[in-house]
Amino acid sequence: MVKRALELPGRKKPYLMAHRGNRVHCPENTLAAFQWALKDGADILETDLHLSADGILVCIHDATLDRTTDGSGPVAARTLSELKGISASYSRSEFANERIPTLDEVAAILPADVALALELKTNRFLEPAVGRQLVSQLRTAGVFDRTVLLSFHLDYLQAVQREAPDLPIGQISMTSPFPRKGVQLNGSFWPALLFNPFYARIAHKFGQATCPLDPTPDSRLKWYRWMGFDAILSDDPGATLVKMREIGWRV
């Protein structure tokens, strides 16, 4: 089966990817952050996946609760009911009622022309049953065809893709100046790209999409336009879209 790159009919490239929602104006990885990013005009919502103690896929970046919630300890040690009793306000009192959302809750607010980028954060995704669970939920929610999986760990991605060979996967790297073969999307931390300004062009020869790992991209947008990236990541998608239009990109 030919593995597809992520394409969004009717959406202009470069796609604007909201990093954990809009985490400038809202606590990251909350429904408030995702809804703000949608209002900003984001084409893709990026979030992170862990599993609760009772096996529910939840959207939180860290393996522990301490940084972004008023709870503590491992996410995996709490049931969904217990997690829902914890505020995900990131110590911002106006967001005290925000909770860690489930994958299903995020998929439910996704407009029909907006995609999901899901970063796999736990080695539980090496388990075939967990991969099947993720694929099944994406299909049931009607978002399978506009989802890409991301990870620093290629084995997590490959394990899930074995359950659904046409589900695109994306390799993230902090150090590599070269795109990896065998994936459908590549993204390296932006300083590594200084060593290879042709990163995107090389990836395109392999039929791959590209997005720099740079959640604060505004000062480098002209460079990314010259390099030819397919998507731009941002902590504040609305502000980034304004900057893109100022330089004649995405007008």
Q: Examine the pLDDT at 5 and tell me if it is beyond 90.
A: no
Catalytic residue (choose from 50, 61, 153, 204): 61
Structural tokens at position 78:
């709490």
Reported confidence tier of residue 1, pLDDT bands at 50, 70, 90: very low
pLDDT-based confidence at 73, cuts 50/70/90? very high
Tokens of 179: 């795109």
The domain locations on the chain are 15-63+101-246
Q: Is 19 considered catalytic here?
A: yes
204 annotated active-site:
no
Q: Of 3.40.50.2300, 3.20.20.190, 3.40.50.720, 3.40.109.10, which CATH number belongs to 15-63+101-246?
A: 3.20.20.190
DSSP letter (8 states) at residue 106: H
Terminal-to-terminal C-alpha distance of the chain:
36
pLDDT tens-digit readout, 74-123: 999 999 999 999 999 999 999 999 999 999 999 999 999 999 999 999 99
- Based on the number of CB atoms within 10 Å of its own CB, is 78 exposed (0-12), middle (13-18) or buried (19 or more)? buried
Judge whether 154 and 171 are in contact, CB under 8 Å.
yes
Tokens standing for 247?
Answer: 């330089």
At residue 151, the pLDDT reads 98
Closest Cα to residue 151, out of 115, 119, 185?
119
